[in-house]
Structure 1
Amino acid sequence: MEQLLLHLRSLGFTEMESKIMVELAAIGQSSGYEVAKRLGVSRSNVYAALQRLTQQGYVRCGDGEPARYSALDPDELAKMISGRVQASLAFVENEMPRGGSVSTTFYNVEGERNVMDALIRQLNAAEHEIIVDVWREEASLLRSELEQAERRGVRLLWAFDGGNAASTYLPWPPLEERESEGRKFSFVVDRRWCMLGMRGGEGDGTVQAVVTEHRVLVELLLGHFTQEMVLFELEQDMGPELERRYGHRYGSIYRKYIGSDGEDEEDLMEIQTPGNTRDDS
């Protein structure tokens, strides 16, 4: 019941109108007095809401004294609402001014539903290319949208395979201890829009992301993918030679710039920072 009322309110009906429509649909033809009594609210509020619903065509009012009201069949109600919403959307799309310039900025998006909605809109609008860097869990949530994009001819490029493999590089050691921050993800759509975020943490299901068309972040993520792409090809072609010269996961280069004196590769291998490996544990 609560879900039904919530969806009716999201379609523009007030809480009172939503309750009246559900009540009439469940009980059948009733007078305003009977509806008010069953809902436990004032008759004046019920009659005012019934008048609005009747004028808009969502409720029928029969002749007689007292007047008796009835709800439309669900199919008829859905068609009426859908038709009016589509007409309004078409008008807004055609008439909304487009002349104002908007400066490129960064937007914070919080909550799984809000993040997914923002991402799915862009995936569905993609025309040329989508670069994806996600874990398997997140990829499964977007499987349908990504498959639809491929069917439209959009090219999908994966920065990682989403499996259990460790990062190509040794992780940066944290300067102070911190709890796990969850799984990182990023998307670049048509080389102009991007999202960078984190899903979950230590016992926390929070989802947060930054969304922007700013060239700084778009080019940063594109550069990261280019780096992964080049290294992948080099490792496929020269893997043993690279490991012989630079150590496992480029440990000798890592120690030169990041590792402390006295650290050996085994110590570095044990350093883990959140989001830098693709382990499922």
Structure 2
Amino acid sequence: MLKLKLARIREEQMREVGKIDSQGHVTVKKRPISDDEDDDLEKQVRKKIDLEELESADLDDEQKEMRWRQLSPEQLEVATLQLYERGGYSPTYGDVNDTMPGIEVLDEKSDMEDLLKRRREHRKQPAGVSKIEADMLAIARKGMEGDESTFSVEQPLETQSHLWSDKYRPRKPTYLNRVQTGFDWNKYNQTHYDMDNPPPKIVQGYKFNIFYPDLLDPSETPSFTVTPCDDPDFAVIRFKAGPPYEDIAFKCVNREWEVSHKHGYKCQFQNGVFQLWFVFKRYRYRR
């Protein structure tokens, strides 16, 4: 790029020494330009470029900008090349005392520790779950035992129509349901099975945890209904709440419940979580 600039300067000098003939044509006295003249031209371009003077600490930003504006295109190019060779456009370390007001200077070690802490906190929270929902999941998982497992098989419902659907977008609630299974050591199983060859596991109870964090009227407690299926061994339990939540239903075993609190029965709505926990009655067979 610098050589092109020098070539243009040489062409301008050649035009100055030219003469105009009677017909208006320019005749140029051609003479070779020596290497010494090339060096003189290069020195002419580079002269009066003092980066220390341009970037003096005694100057404010406005004064520095004015000095840069006074440079010719050739001088500006030379200055930028010198700056590139000097620092490669890499930022230099500044003095803490020169920091602008309102800017917090962080220690590198402390900043890395804070970053790692935030990453650990983020890993504890399930992906795609808000903090409120994560707290609700923690409540639902509390006290989960080895004989319990989660299940999420929903029962299809008819198309639901709500009066508030025009104002609020209906959505299904999230949930974390647990089913408790175990062995029923009745007289028949005691006769035909033992600990080495146990009987098949049966469902002994359920723990439904339905989340309603955005219920418009938190004072309205969600409710549930139990409807028998075509198969008498099963029933459909349906949960209903106010806007903006739709009804949700699950298919469960149809047996008689223990409704005593000492047997673990729970039906409550607290902190946006509706919990329905129950176990089935155990029948004792007599001869």
With normalisation by structure 1, the TM-score equals 0.24
RCO comparison, higher one (Cα < 8 Å, 6+): 1
With normalisation by structure 2, the TM-score equals 0.24
Structure (1 or 2) with the greater helix fraction: 1
Quick check: which has more Rg, 1 or 2?
2
